[in-house]
Amino acid sequence: MAKLWFKFQRYFRRKPVRFFTFLVLYLTAGSLVFLHSGFVGQPAISQNQASPAAGVPAEGAELPFLGDLHLGRGFRDTGEASSIARRYGPWFKGKDGSERTKLGDYGGAWSRALKGRIVREKEEERAKYIGCYLDDTQSRALRGVSFFDYKKMTIFRCQDNCAERGYLYAGLEFGAECYCGHKIQATNVSEAECDMGCKGERGSVCGGANRLSVYRLQLAQESARRYGSAVFRGCFRRPDNLSLALPVTAAMPNMSVDKCVDLCTEKEYPLAALAGNACHCGFPTTRFPLHEREDEQLCAQKCSAEEFESCGTPSYFIVYQTQVQDNRCMDRKFLPAKSKQLIALASFPGAGNTWARHLIELATGFYTGSYYFDGSLYNKGFKGERDHWRSGRTICIKTHESGQKEIEAFDAAILLIRNPYKALMAEFNRKYGGHIGFAAHAHWKGKEWPEFVRNYAPWWATHTLDWLKFGKKVLVVHFEDLKQDLFVQLGRMVSLLGVAVREDRLLCVESQKDGNFKRSGLRKLEYDPYTADMQKIISAYIKMVDAALKGRNLTGVPDDYYPR
């Protein structure tokens, strides 16, 4: 045997070409065998095995509801599903005991292709395309939540976001905008008018210019429909003119919070007011602004159908905010004529500039611009981000600059000031985790955080001092005051921008003030990252800024800035 192996080895050593030829033939033969086993020789399937009673869904039948609102349906071809189950692994049970195929990691190119095809089929069948519909910025076809992504929008992403919030319809527009709703309030138009491709999915259509590609989400069970978590707003006195303040009223002998919220959601109103055995629906208006909350004991009348919930009284209403989006402040556009003055929205990084831009755009209806270009913000809906800051098409310009030359380039400014302890942490999170992300624990504990504080803390003070010194017509707004009294502070900001203040629009902004630019707060540090030395230095800067503000007859810094 050894001699035979030696001769075999010497044969290929003398002729290397023969060795490589033999190797190629061996690999080719192996590949052919592998492919052959994947396509032929599948066992036949009897009628019993293919029937729904045997655990395999019939053609077109819906599979059980899996997860809170992640929808899925079975394979189109029963035989294909059964053969997949035989060749690629076990079945697993759904919530109601019915069976579904396991999309595990089977290995191999054929398995990956098969898995991808199954996932695509599930995505296609999770919603039914309804058609192309007219949309209007003043009166939306779908009046639930909305979000934009001008880089990665796909049909599935829009459907998934609407489904998770319990909506029945998902619509896509301009290739990048997603709208959700419980009913369609628009007319159907020609399919040719929905002609814009999805930004994140080549070959797919995502509406058109003021045209929505609408899908109806396929819920496996009617009981799976939900309207999401309503937000408790408080106890409020009955408005003077009830029929004008809350135009929809329904008597409910078996009153519950869910019933009233569901009614107002179906009627497409953002407010649900419970008044004993009556449910009222409407918008926040000057007749019912939700600014003066009453003691909740005045509303503490138990619901007839819910023992542990309060349903208010005929004189004092319990108010909830539904998931219906108030569209009175959602229309935005560029200025119709070039602005004659440049107004800065100036702040130290981390002081809430992006959030303030969101509020200003909703309150005025005009896009804001930026001294910089941030692609991620443009993709999230800040369309003025791409304009040159001197274009004159935007209502104000975001800037973090603090030099004399840069400041004097603006005709007026809104100076947004935030507690330096909060601002520094927010900017550190943004630098290492993105606009709504968080820095890693290693960054806080490493050398990055002390170095960051050493470099940025002096800038927090000099930024405010420079704008007070060199700025023209500077309106100072404290971030904390804006959060506490948004209606008044945002009204001041809009007045400086030269736009008429519409109270109903400001009330609309209040109901959706957070937008998509607020960190969740779920990853707060369990310790104070500021050392005693850091606190001593920052407190000195706070006193310096406080003295500068008071020296110009302005309100000093809020009390919660110090002591630590």
> Rounded distance, CA 509 to CA 493, Å?
13
- The whole-number pLDDT of residue 545 equals 96
Residue with tokens 């921008």: 497
Q: Show the beta-strand stretches assigned E in 428-473.
A: none
- The whole-number pLDDT of residue 511 equals 82
Angle at 155 between CA 150 and CA 160, to 5 degrees: 105
pLDDT < 70 regions, the chain: 1-20, 31-125, 166, 219-229, 435-436, 515-525, 563-564
> Rounded distance, CA 418 to CA 422, Å?
7
Pairing of strands 211-217, 231-237: unpaired
> Rounded distance, CA 375 to CA 113, Å?
33
- The reply to whether omega before 563 is within 30° of 0 (cis) is yes
> Rounded distance, CA 563 to CA 547, Å?
16
- The whole-number pLDDT of residue 33 equals 61
Phi and psi at residue 478, to the nearest 5°? -85, 130
CA pseudo-torsion sign 291, 297, 299, 303? positive
- The whole-number pLDDT of residue 436 equals 63
> Rounded distance, CA 419 to CA 434, Å?
20
Angstrom CA distances, 171 to 143, 155, 162, 197, stand at 10, 9, 9, 14
CATH number listed for the domain at residues 332-561: 3.40.50.300
DSSP tag of 208 = B
> Rounded distance, CA 193 to CA 209, Å?
8
Domain boundaries, the chain: 125-217, 227-324, 332-561
> Rounded distance, CA 147 to CA 135, Å?
15
CA-CA-CA-CA torsion for 259, 260, 263, 269, nearest 10 degrees?
A: -150
Radius of gyration (C-alpha) of the chain in whole angstroms:
31
The conformational region for residue 561 under phi > 0 = left, psi -120 to 50 = alpha, else beta, is: alpha
Per-residue pLDDT of 376-435, as tens digits, reads 888 888 999 999 999 999 999 999 999 899 999 999 999 999 999 999 998 998 888 876
> Can you spell out the DSSP letters for 31-66?
HHHHHHHHHS-PPP--HHHHSGGGTSPPTTPPPPPB
Asked if residues 439 and 445 have their Cβ atoms less than 8 Å apart, the reply is: no
